Chain A
């Protein structure tokens, strides 16, 4: 073995570099793991004011206050499992930070509500693309019994080719219609009524 190693032309500085590089790599991985963990917490996500609006509805949902006591935090649903996927999701999610800094004033509750549908559509698309993988961290098909007699049978027999998001949406955040049936004018009117704004305000805000 020693002879074999000796055969590799490895000098002392290279050896040290390899050790340091390995250590740095390990530290980087630990950093990523910690970064993914921390940046998936409710605390981190809602450190932007704009995110507190979706938090309000979430806090009224069963995912925040389940009878089981198992609370799903932002990242449990919205960040994939595994360090590489999680990191990739966070890199993609960086666009939210970019928009927060340079986009519309999402801290304004009206602007936030006006843009919510597009956020919901994008998120649903992500769930479809990932096969609702994050749901299945907790919800295991075989374990779904439900309170009604046929809940288990429906999940066993009616779910071929479907993932959770195909049937379950609007569970946690404010109700947003499907992209296909969404009507911008009606949504704008609803938000205007809700905030006591004059008709047309929503359109103006969206154009800004």
Chain B
């Protein structure tokens, strides 16, 4: 890469690195401050002539883009070095099909640094241990390429003949491991080749992956008051605006990007989409999480409850390497940062009250269902009532869905203010399946020992005491009080 971007505004750099810790002037989406001599490769003009004919749709999308208007052509993004693993010669030029985040970083350096190490960039790495149980055993390898990897990203394989292995490509999953070693795919959110700002700001940008039973965030947003207002006031969202600061450039409603990434008041925007999340909501038991920023630009999420490293300490990264801790961001700080977005439109008490309602649901899920269920499962494995193999017993599906599907829906529903998802699509199903499926399956699996196991973990304090009063009457079933039995 001969021309590493230089001349980025120092303020943008420092602001992006420390944006969580202090807030200076409002920092907007980083402007590319490179000199235009870095792009507009003359040889790239020729690509356009032919591709306007050979793949007209693609070329026309590019023609409409901000890239085209700034003079950025095909070769500026697709050029490669002959030594790159996926380099190929095409019409006399050495290019690569895949434009990785590292390639985009030739100009968009700040976004690249934000994104590397984020929960998005790690989306493949985070689940790769689970793939054998899910994709291989439960279904088959074919679904990994067409399913899992399309959201989580694939580990792209360049075959020895220089072609991209179709088991791993095409892929624009957000945690894609690219041939150049970088993680992620900018086009997961920024549809190529138009790379429209407005498109990436739409909630639909996230819906390809954040939808469906385990993470119905698109549905949750749409069902929330925010989503309802967005849909009806879309024309007031100023989606095409070069700067897009909540409370200034638009006020009607937030989209996903607003809260999780967007600039709001003095809060700078970020391409680390998980940075403002105080909780890990997609785990068996939710933990508040610390964000550890490393000297080498890497990041680590550390759940509360385990020892938190100190500034300057050397710690081990996920890939086994060592790095010094630059800063530790507490979950409370992350919550404050997220709340700054809310405060653009809501009062402080309102915001705090909402967050309290959200936290209460997470804690209820944890203490009443997640922790007991996890402990019961551990006992069943310990006692040899279940084989260690995942998904060869019905209770394993029940437990998996309890936290991964219904539990996640409940927690996400509460986090984004969709009452329907917090309750009917979420916690109601958690309760129904905990009492109606999970516990009966525990009894089936552990036989005579089951009652002891269940009693060990289901406490009155956690909210299970009601089971001890089978004669209590309630009209809920619609049978009428007198038929409810023992109308004491």
On A, residues with C-beta under 8 Å from B are 148, 150, 153-154, 157-158, 166-167, 174-178, 180-183, 186-191, 193
- Interface contact A175-B161, CB-CB below 8 Å: yes
B32 at the interface (CB under 8 A from A): no
Q: Give A180 Cβ to nearest chain B Cβ, in Å.
A: 5
B91 at the interface (CB under 8 A from A): yes
Decide yes or no: A181 and B161 within 8 Å by CB, A150-B53, A154-B50, A157-B49 being known contacts: no
Identify which of residues 106-129 in chain B touch chain A, using a CB-to-CB cut-off of 8 Å: none
Of B53, B82, B94, B158, which is within 8 A of A153 by CB? Answer: B53
CA distance A186 to B82 in the complex (A): 14
- Interface contact A189-B160, CB-CB below 8 Å: yes
- Interface contact A154-B54, CB-CB below 8 Å: yes
Q: Give B58 Cβ to nearest chain A Cβ, in Å.
A: 13
Chain B residues whose C-beta falls within 8 Å of the C-beta of A183 in the assembled complex? 85, 160, 162
Q: Can you add 19 more A-B contacts, CB < 8 Å, to A158-B49, A181-B88?
A: A150-B56, A154-B50, A154-B54, A157-B49, A157-B53, A175-B161, A175-B163, A177-B88, A177-B89, A177-B161, A180-B82, A181-B82, A181-B89, A181-B94, A186-B158, A186-B160, A187-B160, A188-B160, A190-B161
Identify which of residues 388-440 in chain B touch chain A, using a CB-to-CB cut-off of 8 Å: none
- Interface contact B50-A175, CB-CB below 8 Å: no
CA distance A190 to B163 in the complex (A): 11
- Interface contact A158-B50, CB-CB below 8 Å: yes
CB-nearest residue of chain B to A177: B162
Q: Pull 30 A–B residue pairs with CB atoms less than 8 Å apart, ordered by A.
A: A150-B53, A150-B54, A150-B56, A154-B50, A154-B53, A157-B49, A157-B53, A158-B49, A158-B53, A166-B91, A174-B161, A175-B162, A175-B163, A176-B161, A177-B88, A178-B89, A180-B82, A180-B89, A180-B94, A181-B82, A181-B94, A181-B162, A182-B162, A183-B162, A186-B85, A187-B160, A187-B161, A189-B160, A190-B159, A190-B160
CA distance A148 to B54 in the complex (A): 8
- Interface contact B92-A166, CB-CB below 8 Å: yes
Chain B residues whose C-beta falls within 8 Å of the C-beta of A193 in the assembled complex? 160
Pairs of residues from A and B, 8 with the lowest C-beta to C-beta distance, nearest first: A190-B160, A177-B162, A178-B89, A150-B53, A181-B87, A186-B160, A187-B160, A175-B161
Identify which of residues 147-187 in chain B touch chain A, using a CB-to-CB cut-off of 8 Å: 158-163
CB-nearest residue of chain B to A148: B54
Chain B residues whose C-beta falls within 8 Å of the C-beta of A154 in the assembled complex? 50, 53-54
CB-nearest residue of chain B to A186: B160
Q: Give B81 Cβ to nearest chain A Cβ, in Å.
A: 9
Q: Give B474 Cβ to nearest chain A Cβ, in Å.
A: 65
Identify which of residues 37-96 in chain B touch chain A, using a CB-to-CB cut-off of 8 Å: 49-50, 53-54, 56, 82, 85, 87-89, 91-92, 94
Chain B residues whose C-beta falls within 8 Å of the C-beta of A181 in the assembled complex? 82, 87-89, 94, 162
CA distance A25 to B88 in the complex (A): 50
Chain A residues whose C-beta falls within 8 Å of the C-beta of B82 in the assembled complex? 180-181
Q: Give B179 Cβ to nearest chain A Cβ, in Å.
A: 11
CB-nearest residue of chain A to B53: A150
Q: Give B41 Cβ to nearest chain A Cβ, in Å.
A: 18
CA distance A175 to B85 in the complex (A): 16
CB-nearest residue of chain A to B84: A181
CA distance A3 to B89 in the complex (A): 70
Q: Give A118 Cβ to nearest chain B Cβ, in Å.
A: 14
Chain B residues whose C-beta falls within 8 Å of the C-beta of A178 in the assembled complex? 88-89, 162
CA distance A181 to B91 in the complex (A): 13
Chain A residues whose C-beta falls within 8 Å of the C-beta of B89 in the assembled complex? 177-178, 180-181
Chain A residues whose C-beta falls within 8 Å of the C-beta of B50 in the assembled complex? 154, 158
* Most chain B Cβ neighbours within 10 Å, of A148, A176, A181, A183: A181
Chain A residues whose C-beta falls within 8 Å of the C-beta of B87 in the assembled complex? 181
CB-nearest residue of chain B to A187: B160
CA distance A54 to B407 in the complex (A): 57
CA distance A175 to B88 in the complex (A): 12
CB-nearest residue of chain A to B158: A186
CA distance A188 to B160 in the complex (A): 7
CA distance A178 to B85 in the complex (A): 13
Q: Give A98 Cβ to nearest chain B Cβ, in Å.
A: 28
CA distance A182 to B161 in the complex (A): 8
CA distance A197 to B160 in the complex (A): 15
Q: Give B384 Cβ to nearest chain A Cβ, in Å.
A: 39
CA distance A31 to B163 in the complex (A): 45
Identify which of residues 175-216 in chain B touch chain A, using a CB-to-CB cut-off of 8 Å: none
Q: Give B441 Cβ to nearest chain A Cβ, in Å.
A: 44
CA distance A181 to B161 in the complex (A): 10
Q: Give A107 Cβ to nearest chain B Cβ, in Å.
A: 22
Chain A residues whose C-beta falls within 8 Å of the C-beta of B53 in the assembled complex? 150, 153-154, 157-158
Q: Give B291 Cβ to nearest chain A Cβ, in Å.
A: 38
Q: Give A174 Cβ to nearest chain B Cβ, in Å.
A: 7
Q: Give B138 Cβ to nearest chain A Cβ, in Å.
A: 27
CB-nearest residue of chain B to A184: B160
CA distance A166 to B90 in the complex (A): 9
Q: Give A136 Cβ to nearest chain B Cβ, in Å.
A: 19
Q: Give A182 Cβ to nearest chain B Cβ, in Å.
A: 7
Chain B residues whose C-beta falls within 8 Å of the C-beta of A153 in the assembled complex? 53
CB-nearest residue of chain B to A159: B50
CA distance A190 to B85 in the complex (A): 14
* Most chain A Cβ neighbours within 10 Å, of B53, B56, B158, B163: B53
Chain B residues whose C-beta falls within 8 Å of the C-beta of A187 in the assembled complex? 160-161
CB-nearest residue of chain B to A179: B89
CA distance A191 to B159 in the complex (A): 10
CA distance A115 to B162 in the complex (A): 16
CA distance A43 to B163 in the complex (A): 32
Chain B residues whose C-beta falls within 8 Å of the C-beta of A175 in the assembled complex? 161-163
